[in-house]
Amino acid sequence: MKRILFFIISVAFTSGIFAQSNKQVQWTYTAKKVAENTFDVHMTASINSDFHLYAQEPGGDGPIPTSFTFTKNPLLILDGKPREVGNVVKKYEQAWNHDVKYYEKNVDFVQRVKLKGNAKTNLAGKVEFMVCNDQKCLPPSNVEIKVNIGG
């Protein structure tokens, strides 16, 4: 009985910790047509309070970089990797013992996609990210991405 109770408490505690990163960053997704059958998908992170979100290439060993994994879609072609639009901060962090790159308050990741013809579809996948402040880092988190394109 004690083992079962310990297991239930452990699972509840762990789930609560992993959900904390999602509370510190809110993601929104939009698509904007930029040319015939070409769209920029904006994946915008709004970062709460004193936390910061690491860049796709934060530098050195240590923080988990923000990364995007997209589900294969035969109607879409990804044009490169997402570019970062925002005020990047490059700063020495004692926790990692070197300079790292991150964003505070907000950052827009923009993925260009090309439709194969006049179709209506979506870009789906996930974003993995990690946030820290001056006192602690939260465990990495994954958030689903889904944005309508075309039509």
The domains of the chain, with CATH numbers, are 2-150 (2.60.40.1250)
Residue 78 exposed, middle or buried by CB count within 10 Å (0-12, 13-18, 19+): middle
**Percent of the chain at pLDDT above 70?**
86
Q: Quickly list H helices, the chain.
A: 2-24
pLDDT mean over 121-126: 97
Spatial separation of the C-alpha atoms in residues 18 and 100, rounded to whole Å: 23
CB neighbours of 27 closer than 8 A, spacing ≥ 6?
43, 44, 45, 46, 127, 143, 145
Give the pLDDT of residue 12: 37
Q: Which two tokens stand for residue 87?
A: 């005020």
Residue 143 exposed, middle or buried by CB count within 10 Å (0-12, 13-18, 19+): middle
pLDDT mean over 127-148: 96
Quick one: DSSP state of residue 86? S
Q: Is the pLDDT of residue 9 over 80?
A: no
61-116 pLDDT per residue, tens: 889 999 999 999 999 999 999 999 999 999 999 888 999 999 999 999 999 999 99
pTM of the model: 0.84
